Amino acid sequence: MLKNYIKIAWKVLQRRKFFTFISLFGISFTLMVLMVVTSLFDHAFGPQMPERDTDRLLFVNMMREQGEEGYNTSGPPSYYFLDHYVKSLPTPEKVSISSVFNMVNSYVNNQKLALDLKHTDRAFWEILDFEFLEGRAFNEQEVANASHVAVINQNTRKKYFGDAAAIGQDIVVNQVTYKVVGVVKDVPVLRLNSYADVWVPITLRQNEFKNDGLRGTFMGIIQAKTAGDLPKIKDEYAHMMTQVEIKNPKEVSQLFSFPDTILEFFARSALGRGQDSKIGLFYTLLALAAFLFMLLPTINLVNINISRIMERSSEIGVRKAFGASSKVIIGQFVVENVFLTLIGGLLGLVLSLGVMHLINNSGIIVYADLGLNIRVFAWGILLCLVFGLISGVYPAYKMSRLNAVEALRGGTK
Question: Is there a domain that residue 266 lies in?
Answer: no
Residue among 243, 190, 244 at smallest CA distance from 213:
244
Please check whether residues 208 and 291 belong to one and the same domain.
Answer: no
Please check whether residues 296 and 246 belong to one and the same domain.
Answer: no
Strands annotated E in 121-246: 132-135, 149-153, 170-173, 176-184, 198-201, 218-223
Residue among 193, 190, 174 at smallest CA distance from 77:
193
Please check whether residues 238 and 326 belong to one and the same domain.
Answer: no
Rounded CA-CA distance 196/103 in Å is 9
Question: Is there a domain that residue 269 lies in?
Answer: no
**360 within 8 A of 370, measured Cβ to Cβ:** yes
State residue 170's pLDDT score.
94
The secondary structure of residue 104, as a DSSP letter, is E
Please check whether residues 39 and 125 belong to one and the same domain.
Answer: no
**390 within 8 A of 298, measured Cβ to Cβ:** yes
Question: Is there a domain that residue 15 lies in?
Answer: yes
Number of H helices, E strands in the chain: 13, 13
Please check whether residues 97 and 8 belong to one and the same domain.
Answer: no
3-state secondary structure of 177: strand
Three-state SS letters, 280-322: HHHHHHHHHHHHHHHHHHHHHHHHHHHHHHHCCHHHHHHHHHC
Q: What is the pTM of this model?
A: 0.80
Question: Is there a domain that residue 270 lies in?
Answer: no
Number of domains composing the chain? 2
- 229, 260, 291: which is the final residue of a domain? 260
Please check whether residues 393 and 347 belong to one and the same domain.
Answer: yes
Walk along the chain (413 residues) and give the pLDDT tens digit of each residue.
667 777 777 777 677 777 778 778 877 888 788 888 888 888 888 888 899 888 999 999 999 888 877 678 889 999 999 999 999 999 999 999 999 999 999 988 888 889 999 999 999 999 999 999 999 999 999 999 999 999 999 999 999 888 888 999 999 998 899 999 999 999 998 888 999 999 999 999 999 998 888 999 999 999 999 999 999 999 999 999 999 988 888 888 889 999 999 889 888 888 866 667 788 888 899 888 877 877 777 777 777 777 766 777 777 777 777 777 777 777 777 777 778 778 888 888 889 889 999 988 887 888 888 877 777 677 777 776 776 677 777 777 776 666 666 666 655 54
- Domain span holding position 149: 57-260
Pairing mode, if any, of strands 218-223 and 57-60?
antiparallel
